[in-house]
């Protein structure tokens, strides 16, 4: 069984995948509870434009994706705060806008090369040795910042108004959350792909929520579902020669189904 660990690209995929799997629910739980899941999808599409820019100008695509996504995430949050535009309309603007930009850039670069295709659907082959280091470093930074603002994020997700009244700097914490979401999504794209990254952020959390338990235990369950999905997804996709992103997301859905069934049978 462990023979697959002799392939360095599998080990790299697992290392990077494990880090992403640990960080995704930390972001996901707050996005889901704030009814903001769709921002993950939007930021993923912005990442695609960032990756296209990186490939054209010969920059590290992870870094160009991160930069563009972080900038856009702040812009989306500011647009939402002006209240001149509905939150989800702001998301739609950025989702289709960045996809359009990506398409034009791809056209300018004379077509759809294999490289970009891997970013769309995710593949552990896409993960280069330098990517693993970047994913580990930035993943740790994201996890640390979530940890530092954990109590403020919980309060704001539960009752933003009461949190503000008690003196919690809600604007700053909101911006931090959205920037960290942008970073996490850019990091996760090489493995799960643009089209499926939001699933990894959202589905393990939604599965854990079915179990209707405390906040901390919901987060722990989401972490367990996420890590098991990524590890088994990478291994299964290797043996059956399937897409790693697709397999990972199907496994998360399996966990959701099981959690939902368990909740139904135990009348939670």
Side-chain-side CA neighbours of 122 within 13 Å: the count stands at 32
Q: Measured from the CB atom, is 211 or 231 closer to another protein? A: 211
Q: Measured from the CB atom, is 130 or 166 closer to another protein? A: 166
**Residue holding tokens 């799960």?**
192
Q: How far apart are CA 111 and CA 212, in angstroms?
A: 48
Q: What is the smallest separation between the CB atom of 162 and another protein, expressed in angstroms? A: 5
Q: How far apart are CA 189 and CA 44, in angstroms?
A: 8
Residues interacting with another protein, by CB under 8 A? 33, 148-149, 151-152, 154-155, 157-159, 161-169, 209, 212-218
Q: Measured from the CB atom, is 137 or 148 closer to another protein? A: 148
Q: What is the smallest separation between the CB atom of 80 and another protein, expressed in angstroms? A: 18
Q: What is the smallest separation between the CB atom of 159 and another protein, expressed in angstroms? A: 5
Q: Measured from the CB atom, is 108 or 159 closer to another protein? A: 159
Q: How far apart are CA 121 and CA 114, in angstroms?
A: 11
**Residue holding tokens 């996005």?**
31
The closest alpha carbon to 40, from 190, 168, 197, 189, belongs to: 197
Q: Measured from the CB atom, is 104 or 141 closer to another protein? A: 141
Q: How far apart are CA 240 and CA 233, in angstroms?
A: 10
Do residues 19 and 139 make contact, with C-beta atoms less than 8 angstroms apart?
A: yes
Q: What is the smallest separation between the CB atom of 216 and another protein, expressed in angstroms? A: 8
H/E stretch holding 223 reads helix 215-240
Q: What is the smallest separation between the CB atom of 164 and another protein, expressed in angstroms? A: 7
């Amino acid at each position: 069984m462990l023979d697959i660990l002799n392939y360095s690209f599998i080990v790299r995929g697992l290392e990077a995948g494990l880090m992403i799997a640990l960080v995704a629910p930390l972001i996901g739980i707050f996005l889901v509870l704030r009814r903001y899941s769709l921002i993950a999808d939007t930021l993923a599409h912005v990442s695609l434009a960032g990756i296209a820019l990186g490939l054209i100008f010969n920059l590290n695509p992870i870094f160009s994706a991160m930069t563009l996504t972080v900038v856009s995430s702040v812009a989306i949050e500011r647009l939402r705060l002006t209240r001149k535009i509905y939150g989800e309309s702001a998301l739609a603007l950025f989702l289709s806008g960045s996809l359009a930009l990506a398409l034009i850039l791809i056209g300018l670069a004379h077509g759809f090369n294999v490289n970009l295709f891997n970013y769309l659907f995710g593949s552990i082959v896409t993960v280069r040795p330098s990517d693993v280091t970047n994913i580990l470093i930035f993943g740790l930074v994201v996890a640390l910042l979530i940890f530092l603002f954990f109590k403020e994020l919980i309060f704001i997700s539960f009752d933003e108004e009461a949190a503000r009244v008690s003196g919690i700097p809600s604007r700053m914490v909101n911006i931090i959350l959205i920037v960290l979401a942008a970073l996490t999504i850019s990091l996760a794209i090489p493995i799960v792909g643009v089209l499926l990254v939001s699933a990894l952020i959202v589905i393990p959390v939604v599965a854990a929520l079915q179990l209707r338990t405390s906040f901390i235990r919901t987060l722990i369950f989401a972490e367990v579902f996420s890590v098991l999905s990524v590890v088994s997804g990478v291994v299964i996709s290797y043996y059956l020669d399937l897409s790693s992103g697709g397999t990972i997301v199907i496994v998360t859905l399996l966990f959701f189904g099981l959690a939902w069934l368990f909740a139904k049978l135990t009348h939670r």
